Amino acid sequence: PQNHALIVAAGRGERSGLGLPKQYALIRGLPMVRHSAVKFLEHPDISKLWVVIQAGQEDQLLDALEELNNYEIVMGGATRQDSVKNGLSAIAAAGGAKNVLIHDAARPFLSQMMIDRLLASLEHESGVIPVLPVVDTTINIIDRYLEQALDRDALWRVQTPQAFNFNKLLKAHDLSSAEFDATDDAQIFKAAGNQVAIVEGDEALKKYTTAADFDQLSEKNMIQIR
């Protein structure tokens, strides 16, 4: 059992306005999910890749990852948290792993450098996430009026991949309830009493979420809808 990667690609992409699951939109000529899958598969210290997808999208995924090997498909759930849980259960059923890197398919531009950075930190930490500073003034709004500015220096934007000791993350997900409604795994890991360390994130790892995000890509001629 070594370092495994888990890509969650079972969302519906509703906010993208694309009318198709965004993970299969072509970006720079390749399906979005393929970009990060290739980076994990090419990394010498990642021994296996797991991809969590929506039931009924097996053909789309096989198409998107054509000619790649050494990955397994897992069926996702109603929420991101459920999808991660299904992925972790599948890894556990296959003998487990030492560490797991959990990544959003919606963040296509993953670098080998970021994988290296996370794995280096995992040598002395059991959970680590990439973060970037908040650059805009950030405020609280109450009833549609500005309430107060927040201390920007205390706020950070969180990205994926998020890297964890596999057994500790599995246990944290088992302890977590669906009501917790966490948007990432670091929150679940921390709620179970574990420390989460940080490394410097990468602007290129931006998550493509809204129609505006995809418009930016099309202005640069990087996206095609099929």
**Contact positions toward Mg ion, by CB under 5 A?**
11
CA angle 182, 184, 185 (to 5 degrees): 100
Q: CA 60 to CA 155: how far, in whole Å?
A: 38
Q: Which residues contact 176 (CB under 8 A, 6 or more apart)?
A: 81, 182, 188, 191, 192
CA–CA distances in Å: residue 183 to residues 79, 82, 85, 163, 178: 9, 11, 13, 15, 11
Task: Work out whether 185 is an interface residue with ligand CTP (CB under 6 A).
Answer: no
Take residue 145 and report the two structure tokens written for it: 């009026």
Q: Does 52 bind ligand CTP (CB under 6 A)?
A: yes
Q: Interface residues for ligand CTP in 106-135 (CB under 6 A)? A: 106
Least CB distance from residue 80 to Mg ion, whole Å?
A: 6
Segment near ligand CTP (CB under 6 A), from 59-67, 102-110, 141-149, 163-171? 102-110
**Measured at the alpha carbon of residue 70, what is the angle toward residues 85 and 54, in degrees to the nearest 5?**
40
By the rule CB under 6 A, 11 interacts with ligand CTP = yes
Least distance in angstroms from the C-beta of 15 to ligand CTP: 3
Q: Which is nearer to Mg ion, 105 or 122 (CB)?
A: 105
Q: Is 35 in the site for ligand CTP (CB under 6 A)?
A: no
Residue 85 interacting with ligand CTP (CB under 6 A) = no
Binding at 93: pick from Mg ion, ligand CTP, none (beta carbon under 5-8 Å per type):
none
For residue 14, the SS3 value is helix
